[in-house]
Amino acid sequence: MRKSVVISVITFALLSTGLSTANAHVEVQLRGYSNKAGDESQIVLRAEHGCMHNNAMYATEQLQLQVPNAAGRPKPGFLPGFVASVVDSKTKDSKGIPVSYTVTWKAKNSTSAIDGNSFFEVGLLTTWSSTPQKIFIPATQTCTVTKTPSSGMGAMTMNAKDVGKKLYLKWTVTTGATPKNTADTEYGPAAEITTVK
């Protein structure tokens, strides 16, 4: 039986600057797979909910990760109703290897978007660098304001001009300084995994 190992649970309280205050977090798990440097492995990233705007929760239509080459070229897992892609960065290291990979899961259509009140998980197959290190995986979740939010009181107070507006949850911070939230974007710490000898 594989032991579920939580590598990092990242929780942050959202600051209010036009966005409603909420709790959001991302959880990265190995679920028994290896974090040993040089090994092939698998990780799971869980997004706990959609984007909140004016006290209403909206569905997730896209999740995008920036995976550094220290995790090898990742292979994304299947997410029903979504199309997954991996794009090599144009910047290469001294060996000609892309420095990172953009992994994107995008809803095939609006009915495939994941309800804002639901969590979802995506998996990645990885091959860790042979050098033990801390690996950050910045993530951006994208939602769109619709006439019918997943929940909340926002529909009663929603401004019609907001319909179609993109909302972002950006877990991209890798240092101590978190940018100030804006009317359409919330920020928090990037997911991280530490590989060992």
Query: What CATH code is carried by the domain that includes residue 116?
Result: 2.60.40.2230
Q: Give the residue from 159, 165, 127 showing the smallest Cα distance to 143.
A: 165
Please give the pLDDT value at position 160: 82
Classify residue 51: in a domain, yes or no.
Answer: yes
Classify residue 45: in a domain, yes or no.
Answer: yes
Residue 187 DSSP SS3: strand
Classify residue 143: in a domain, yes or no.
Answer: yes
Please give the pLDDT value at position 2: 38
Classify residue 197: in a domain, yes or no.
Answer: no
Please give the pLDDT value at position 3: 35
Domain count, the chain: 1
In the predicted model, residues of the chain with pLDDT beneath 50 are 1-24
pTM equals 0.84
Please give the pLDDT value at position 182: 93
Classify residue 53: in a domain, yes or no.
Answer: yes
Domain residue limits at 10: 6-190
Beta partners for 140? 64, 170
Please give the pLDDT value at position 127: 97
Please give the pLDDT value at position 54: 85
Cα–Cα distance, 122 to 46 (Å, whole number): 7
Please give the pLDDT value at position 48: 86
pLDDT tens by residue, 156-165: 566 788 999 9
Please give the pLDDT value at position 11: 27
Please give the pLDDT value at position 26: 72
Please give the pLDDT value at position 83: 98
29 touches 174 (CB < 8 A): no
Classify residue 74: in a domain, yes or no.
Answer: yes
Classify residue 149: in a domain, yes or no.
Answer: yes
Q: Give the residue from 62, 60, 56 showing the smallest Cα distance to 149.
A: 56
Q: Give the residue from 78, 99, 77, 96 showing the smallest Cα distance to 88.
A: 99
Classify residue 76: in a domain, yes or no.
Answer: yes
